[in-house]
């Protein structure tokens, strides 16, 4: 198993769609830019059949240094959250329900 990189995605676009590597790279960068911009603006990004990316605000809380046991404040921050779609969950778990749901959406 390997990590999927931008280069892998560009190569996949190049081989599957038939665009040049440069055009494939530009499309990928544009797509990632739109997703990043929306998340920075605090909006959710839903990719149907894949999942939803959203930003969640975590409040200030008290943490503990595991080595010393000393309590330290953890400042408020924004965290990126991904929630997979049911279709993706079904595919990950080897269920045929996802394939049936996907087939029914393509028939419409």
pLDDT at 6 over 80: yes
Query: 14 lies in a domain?
Result: yes
The pLDDT of residue 49:
95
CA distances from 24 to 30, 46, 97 (A): 10, 22, 32
Structural domain including 6 reads 1-40
Do 38 and 45 touch, CB atoms closer than 8 A? yes
Question: Is 46 among the domain residues?
Answer: no
In a domain, 106, yes or no: no
Contacts of 83 (CB under 8 A, 6+ apart): 51, 52, 54
The whole-angstrom separation of Cα 99 and Cα 30 is 29
Q: Is 57 inside any structural domain? A: no
pLDDT of residue 9: 94
Q: What is the DSSP letter of 34?
A: H
- The total domain count for the chain is 1
User: How many CA atoms does the CB half-sphere of 42 hold within 13 Å?
Assistant: 3
**In a domain? residue 51:** no
Phi, psi of 88 (to 5 degrees): -65, -40
Query: Other CB atoms closer than 10 Å to residue 24's CB: what's the count?
Result: 20
Q: What are phi and psi of 77, to 5 degrees?
A: -160, 165
Q: What is the mean pLDDT of the chain?
A: 89
In a domain, 21, yes or no: yes
List the CATH number of the domain containing 28: 4.10.520.10
Q: What percent of the chain has pLDDT over 90?
A: 82
Indicate whether 12 belongs to any domain. Answer: yes
Is position 107 within any domain? no
Per residue in 40-63, pLDDT (tens digit) is 999 999 999 999 999 999 999 999
- Check pLDDT > 80 for residue 25: yes
């Amino acid at each position: 198993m390997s990590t999927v990189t931008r280069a892998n995605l560009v190569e996949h676009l190049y081989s599957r769609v038939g665009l040049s590597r440069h055009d494939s790279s530009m499309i990928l960068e544009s797509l990632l830019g739109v997703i990043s911009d929306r998340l920075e603006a605090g909006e959710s990004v839903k990719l149907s059949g894949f999942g939803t990316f959203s930003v969640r605000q975590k409040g200030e809380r008290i943490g503990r240094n595991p080595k010393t046991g000393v309590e330290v404040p953890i400042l408020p921050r924004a965290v990126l959250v991904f929630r997979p779609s049911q279709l993706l969950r079904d595919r990950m778990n080897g269920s045929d329900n996802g394939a049936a749901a996907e087939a029914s959406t393509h028939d419409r």
